[in-house]
Amino acid sequence: MSWIDKFTTKAKGDMTEHMAATYLQQQGLSILSKNFHSRHGEIDLIMQENDIIVFVEVKYRKSAGYGGAISAVSAKKQQKLKLCAGFYFQQSQLNEYNTACRFDVVALQGDLTQPQITWLKNAF
């Protein structure tokens, strides 16, 4: 058992969200919010790319077994993220119908010290 396996699920989640945020910042996005909560759920990262608000779901899986990290974003999860995004627009006093946005998935897979990162823009 490696030292990384001793981390709690929450600690691993925080670590992968930090890795994803850093990766996206290197790609030119800026952070608006982390772990945005509503009664519908949570959005891991809310970022901005030019004039587009980007809602980001971060998923980590150690292996590709059972479909890997990307397939872990189910239709039900997508619906919760969309509802949560609507709440974010309301809280931010933005019109969700006139504000450009998209939903991205950042999937991290493999060894947590150096995972392979896959960024799916406009994933759903």
Give the domain range for residue 23: 3-120
Phi-psi label, residue 41: left if phi above 0, alpha if psi -120 to 50, beta otherwise? left
**CATH (domain of 47):** 3.40.1350.10
pTM over 0.85: yes
Place of tokens 């970022």: 47
Q: What is the model's pLDDT at position 1?
A: 46
**CB of 69 closer than 8 Å to CB of 59:** yes
CA distance 80 to 15: 23
Q: What is the pLDDT at residue 2?
A: 53
Q: Are 44 and 35 in contact (CB under 8 A)?
A: yes
Q: Which residues pair with 58 in a beta bridge?
A: 106
What whole-number distance in Å separates Cα of residue 113 and Cα of residue 3?
10
Chunk the chain into consecutive blocks of 10 residues (it has 124) and report each block's average pLDDT, rounded to whole numbers: 64 91 98 95 97 96 76 90 96 92 96 92 94
In total, how many domains does the chain have? 1
Burial of residue 107, with CB atoms counted within 10 A of its CB: 0-12 exposed, 13-18 middle, 19 or more buried: buried
